[in-house]
Amino acid sequence: MGLRILGWGSALPEKVVTNHDLQKTLDTSDEWIVERSGIRERRIGDSTAALAIEAGRAALSKSNVDPASVDVMVLATTTPDQAVPACSAHVHHELGLGGGAFDLNAACSGFVYALVMANGLLETGANRVLVVGAETLSRITDWDDRNTAVLFGDGGGALMLEREAGEGQLLGWDLGLDASAREILQCDLGGFVQMDGREVFKRAVRVLVDSAKRTLAQAKVRSEDVKLLVPHQANIRIIQAACDRLGIPEENTAIVLHKTGNTSSASIPLALVDAIDAGRLEEGDLVLMTGFGAGMTWGSALLRWQSPPEAQGASA
Ligand code: UT7
């Protein structure tokens, strides 16, 4: 048994904050932010639950799946709206989902972790799993700290998955954690994100490349056969360095960070959904997702793209 993607969706708050807006209150400039990170603007606002609900609703509607027939929802987030109950409880209620739901925190690798969890659930008996990544990093960002304020944004993305007989679309994966580096990127409860940017940068390139390579080797796929790389959207220079080392041309990557900033768990699904909606994927294309984040966690997943079955009718 494996997974089949039935639908997808994404959500961004309405409020746009440009680099020019930030340079009014911070000792920074549009030139510096664009050159060092590739980010031009980000979206700010809403709650994590609201973004997860919007993205999840879009994925359910696209796949024409009855929400009550969902067995499990996995919500990847580092910014739940409350400590208790889990953010997924609100989302479950508002979407009218059946089955269970839980939050998963693996920082910016969260969506890949959630996808791999979902695959395991489908292999062991679940029929439908909704996977969501949603964040409101703006709530844990110190807007007076130029080291972090220029980088983060809010958003959400979702995939509706169904069990499929056979191998399914997930061909390989790699999850990991080097907790000796857990202090280089952290946020206390009620506090703001603190980060050693240079150290994160250095490690990020290394773990992205190693994790991507392990995933490709596991699936016996060469990097030149990857049609689309969907990396965590943190910094364009990290993505360029990883592409270079993997031998994947930069034009084969899905990029949204110039308009979203770094949205942690939401960044990979936002970039994937953007690429799908732009018609960049054809039947059989290989899609490699790879992310890294606080912990330091990393995660990669290789998918074979399959167009979802046309209007299946709401299935119970
Ligand atoms: O999801 C995972 C989360 N995080 C990441 O992936 C972040 C990884 N790191 C990065 O993306 C980069 O390290 C940053 C974008 C955060 C910083 O870029 P950098 O090229 O590593 O810059 P730097 O930290 O080496 O700083 C260079 C200079 C410093 O000034 P001096 O010491 O050369 O005088 C900084 O004080 O730039 C200064 N600086 C800024 N200047 C203008 C730092 N932040 C800013 C800023 N505007 N916002």
Domain borders along the chain are 2-164, 170-304
Strand pairing category for 41-44 and 297-304: unpaired
pLDDT above 90: residue 240: yes
| Mean pLDDT in residue range 43-58 | 98
CATH topology of domain 170-304: Peroxisomal Thiolase; Chain A, domain 1 (3.40.47)
Q: Is 262 a known active-site residue? A: yes
Are 162 and 42 in contact by the 8 Å Cβ rule? The answer is: no
Q: Is 273 helix (H, G, I), strand (E, B) or coil?
A: helix
| Mean pLDDT in residue range 200-221 | 98
Give 255-311 pLDDT, tens digit per residue.
999 999 999 999 999 999 999 999 999 999 999 999 999 999 999 999 999 999 864
Q: Does residue 201 line the site of ligand 1, with CB under 6 A? A: yes
The DSSP secondary-structure symbol of 169 reads S
Q: Is 147 a known active-site residue? A: no
Ligand 1, atom 7, lies closest to the CA of 197
Q: How far apart are CA 261 and CA 242, in angstroms?
A: 18
The DSSP-derived string for 90-124 is HHHHHHT--SEEEEE-BTBTHHHHHHHHHHHHHHT
Are 53 and 94 in contact by the 8 Å Cβ rule? The answer is: yes
- So what's the pLDDT on residue 314? 43
Domains 2-164 and 170-304 in one fold: yes
Closest CA to 72 of 110, 109, 111, 119: 119
pLDDT above 80: residue 313: no
Q: Taking the model in full, what pTM does it have?
A: 0.97
Q: Is 108 a known active-site residue? A: yes
- CA atoms in the 13 A half-sphere facing the CB of 111: 30
Give, for ligand 1, the residue of 19, 109, 183, 201 to mutate: max count of ligand atoms closer than 8 Å to Cβ.
201
Q: What is the whole-number distance in angstroms between the Cα of residue 182 and the centre of ligand 1? A: 19
Could you tell me which CATH number the domain at 2-164 has? 3.40.47.10
The proportion of the chain whose per-residue pLDDT surpasses 90, expressed as a percent, equals 97
Can you point out the beta strands (E) in 12-145?
A: 15-18, 41-44, 72-76, 100-104, 128-136
- So what's the pLDDT on residue 310? 63
Give 66-79 pLDDT, tens digit per residue.
999 999 999 999 99
pLDDT above 70: residue 191: yes
Q: What is the whole-number distance in angstroms between the Cα of residue 113 and the centre of ligand 1? A: 28
Give 81-106 pLDDT, tens digit per residue.
999 999 999 999 999 999 999 999 99
